Chain A
Amino acid sequence: QVQLVQSGAEVRKPGASVTVSCRASGYAFTAYYMHWMRQAPRQGLEWMGVINPSDGSTTYAQKFQGRAAMTRDTSTDTVYMELSSLRSEDTAVYYCAREEIQRLSRSEFDYWGQGTLVTVSS
């Protein structure tokens, strides 16, 4: 069965970096984009960016360009999201979610990870 399993909760000080991992299983890793979203406490969902595991190409929301970096390891079917220069406003639950790669259309974020809480506090 399809599973996206994320790494555990993290606590960081302002200015530090954090890396969250998302390990995929149960499907062809390179056939699906992997998106990253986050949700601050009592706030809505925010799309951060996406990686194509097939070639490693990435697209980031303007807000995160230069501060987020998404990478993948096809030997372990794992995607990583690093966020640097952390500030208190980055405290949130971070989610990965897959989307089927389609040549002429877009699809749904059909499977999500369980979420990873990142707390930024001095």
Chain B
Amino acid sequence: QTVVTQEPSFSVSPGGTVTLTCGLSSGSVSTAYYPSWYRQTPGQAPRTLIYSTNTLSSGVPDRFSGSILGNKAALTITGAQADDESDYYCVLYFGSGIWIFGGGTKLTVL
């Protein structure tokens, strides 16, 4: 069973830049996996940040960007703000209608 991997936790200073990654237990992530990124705060439903690798969801500030870095999908946050402190999830498409979420990254801004 393929596992989608994410860093369990990450920290960034206010105003700083952080890159979260999304990989595979076996193989490389490419645009064919349509990597998407979601942010979730406690008690709330997730909200899209990025989909199809690098498309910004409506209303999301351009401090957020997506890319492929090496063999992983990446979410970069520039100018980190206190309210960016959240859980971040990537999800990959494996074809035939199947999606798999990563385990999530807890981002701390301090």
Contacts and interface: CB of A to CB of B under 8 A. Distances in A.
How many A residues are at the interface, by size bracket? Answer: 20 to 34
Contact of B57 (A59, A108, A114): A108
B45 A114 contact: yes
Interface string B98-110: 1111111000000
Interface string B66-110: 000000000000000000000101010100111111111000000
Interface string A49-62: 01000000001011
Contacts of A61: 98, 100
Nearest to A4: B45
Contacts of A110: 48, 57-58
Interface in A19-43: 35, 37
A47 B91 contact: yes
B97 A62 contact: no
Main SS class of interface, A: strand
B57 A50 contact: no
B15 interface: no
A46 to B, nearest CB: 6
Interface in B22-48: 34, 36, 38, 40, 45-48
B98 A59 contact: yes
Contacts of B100: 47, 61
Given A112-B45, A115-B45, A59 B104 contact: no
A45 B89 contact: yes
Nearest to B40: A45
Contacts of B102: 44
B99 A47 contact: yes
Nearest to B96: A59
Contacts of A59: 96-98
A46 B52 contact: no
A34 to B, nearest CB: 12
A39 to B, nearest CB: 8
Interface of B: 1, 34, 36, 38, 40, 45-48, 51-52, 55, 57-58, 87, 89, 91, 93, 96-104
